[in-house]
Structure 1
Amino acid sequence: MFTRAVNLKICVDMSVKEFLRSSMLHTFDYGLPQFCVSDLGTQIVAGGNIIMDFLKDPETQMHFDEAGVQSIKFDRYFKGCSQMGSLVEICIKMVKHLINKSIGTNVLEFRDFEFVVSQTCHLVNKRPIAFKEALRDSSNEPVPHPITPERLIHGYDLLSINVIPDLQPDPEIDLEYILGTTPSERIKNNYQKLNAIRKNLIDNYHSEFLATLIKQAVDKKDRYRPCRHQHLNVGDIVLIKETHVKPLNYPMGKITEVIKNTSGEVTNAIVLKGKTNELVKRHITSLIPLLKPDIAEEINPSVNEELDAKPKFRGRSRRRAAVESEKRTRHVLQDSDGLITL
Structure 2
Amino acid sequence: MGPFHVRKNNETQKVWLLCITCTWSRAVNLKICKDLGVKEFLRSFQLHCFDYGIPELCVSDMGTQLVAGANVMQNFLSDHASQLYFEENNIRPIQFQQYFKGCSKLGSLVEVCVKQVKRLLFGSIKNLVLSYDDFEFIVCHTVHLVNRRPIAFKESLREEDLDFIPEPITPEQLVKGYELTSMNLLPELQGIPDEDPDWQPCVNPQQVKDEYMKLRKVRNNLLSKYHNEFLGTLIDQAVDKKDRYRPITQRGIKIGDIVLLKEVHTKPNNYPMGLVKELQYNSIGEVTGASIQKGSTREVVKRHITTLVPFLERLDDSELSSTNDSVKLLSEPPHVKRKAAIVSEQKTREILTE
TM-score range, shorter chain: 0.7 to 0.9
Q: Please name the residue that 2:237 is paired with.
A: 216
Question: Any conservation in 1 of the 2:157–2:165 contact (CA below 8 Å)?
Answer: no
Q: Please name the residue that 2:167 is paired with.
A: 145
Q: Secondary structure at the match of 2:55?
A: coil
Match of 2:73 among 41, 51, 54: 51
Question: Any conservation in 1 of the 2:28–2:113 contact (CA below 8 Å)?
Answer: yes
Alpha-carbon distance in structure 1 between the residues aligned to 2:194 and 2:163: 37
Question: Any conservation in 2 of the 1:133–1:144 contact (CA below 8 Å)?
Answer: no
Q: Deviations over 1:78-102 (max 9, x none)?
A: 0111211011111000000100111
Q: Please name the residue that 1:316 is paired with.
A: none
Counterpart code for 1:56: S
Q: Does 1:12 align with 2:34?
A: yes
Alpha-carbon distance in structure 1 between the residues aligned to 2:242 and 2:160: 33
Match of 2:254 among 225, 229, 233: 233
Q: Percent identity?
A: 54
Q: Please name the residue that 1:321 is paired with.
A: none
Q: Does 1:104 align with 2:120?
A: no
Alpha-carbon distance in structure 1 between the residues aligned to 2:166 and 2:310: 49
Question: Any conservation in 1 of the 2:254–2:314 contact (CA below 8 Å)?
Answer: no
Q: Please name the residue that 1:283 is paired with.
A: 304
Deviation at 1:270, TM superposition (A): 2.3
Q: Does 1:38 align with 2:60?
A: yes
Q: Does 1:196 align with 2:217?
A: yes
Counterpart code for 2:268: P
Deviation at 1:267, TM superposition (A): 1.6
Question: Any conservation in 2 of the 1:95–1:124 contact (CA below 8 Å)?
Answer: yes
Deviation at 1:135, TM superposition (A): 8.6
Alpha-carbon distance in structure 1 between the residues aligned to 2:288 and 2:36: 30
Alpha-carbon distance in structure 2 between the residues aligned to 1:43 and 1:256: 25
Q: Deviations over 1:41-77 (max 9, x none)?
A: 1111111111111111211111111111122111111
CA change 1:135–1:174 in 2 (3 A) is: closer
Deviation at 1:245, TM superposition (A): 4.4
Matches within 5 A, 1:127-206: 127-134=149-156, 139=161, 141-169=163-191, 173-174=194-195, 188-206=209-227
Alpha-carbon distance in structure 2 between the residues aligned to 1:262 and 1:75: 14
Alpha-carbon distance in structure 2 between the residues aligned to 1:277 and 1:15: 29
Deviation at 1:249, TM superposition (A): 3.1
State the TM-score, normalizing by the size of structure 1: 0.78
Q: Does 1:25 align with 2:47?
A: yes
Aligned residue pair count: 289
Q: Please name the residue that 2:146 is paired with.
A: 124
Q: Deviations over 1:211-250 (max 9, x none)?
A: 2222212222222222222222233221122345443332
Deviation at 1:260, TM superposition (A): 2.7
Deviation at 1:255, TM superposition (A): 2.1
Decide which structure has greater strand share.
Answer: 2
**What stretches of structure 2 of length at least 5 have no aligned partner?**
1-22, 200-207, 321-326, 330-354
State the TM-score, normalizing by the size of structure 2: 0.75
CA change 1:163–1:3 in 2 (3 A) is: same
Counterpart code for 1:120: T
Q: Please name the residue that 2:291 is paired with.
A: 270
Deviation at 1:108, TM superposition (A): 0.6
**What stretches of structure 1 of length at least 5 have no aligned partner?**
179-186, 301-342
Decide which structure has greater helix share.
Answer: 1
